[in-house]
Amino acid sequence: MENQHDTHGALSPNQCGSSLVQAIDAPLPLVWSILRRFDNPQAYKQFVKSCTLSAGDGGIGSVRQVMVVSGMPAATSMERLDRLDDDTHVMMVSIIGGDHKLLNYRSTTSLHKSRNEEGNGGGKTVVVESYVVDIPAGNSKEDTRSFADMIIGCNLRSLARVTEKLFVNGELLD
């Protein structure tokens, strides 16, 4: 699925990027309610130990300080919310600091209702996350893309697990 909201443009020779897609068996409003919480990425990102807003209230322009779980090749990440559109379900985040190799990292995540054979969503959501990042000195484009894809893939699978569990539990409570 092409990400119509991707505004990263052409990559320079020292950058790489990719797009990852995750299907989720939960309705879009539920998935968006978890994803859009810039102040609470640990709700679904398993590599995040804690998050503190250092600027803003969780809206556009807010900056968060993320503490990463031990064992990862980083301890902190400073991230800014560049776009949050509740109508089109698009979120854009830039990494603006931290002790990691993801320099000039920018991502766009968008949610889409999944289409089934009947042409409706049937309570399913497709998440598309695309990114661009500088290739660190001494690293290859393939290694950088592989690392970023691994982290994003884990985050998207975790988002699916969390929201699908919430959806099933919510249905059982009805």
Residue pair 141/11 in contact by the 8 Å Cβ criterion: no
Sheet with 48-55: list strands edge to edge.
Answer: 15-24, 125-134, 106-113, 90-98, 76-85, 63-68, 48-55
User: Where does the chain show beta strands of DSSP type E?
Assistant: 15-24, 48-55, 63-68, 76-85, 90-98, 106-113, 125-134
Closest CA to 19 of 132, 125, 101: 132
Distance CA 29, CA 18 (A): 25
Instruction: List domains and CATH numbers for the chain.
Output: 16-37+83-173 (3.30.530.20)
- Total-model pTM: 0.85
Query: Locate tokens 């919310």: which residue?
Result: 81
pLDDT 10s digits, 49-81: 999 999 999 999 999 999 988 766 778 999 999
pLDDT 10s digits, 125-163: 999 999 999 999 899 999 999 999 999 999 999 999 999
State the pLDDT confidence band at 101, using cuts at 50, 70 and 90: confident
C-alpha torsion 96→101→105→111, nearest 10: -110
3-state secondary structure (DSSP) of residue 44: coil
Average pLDDT of every residue of the chain: 87
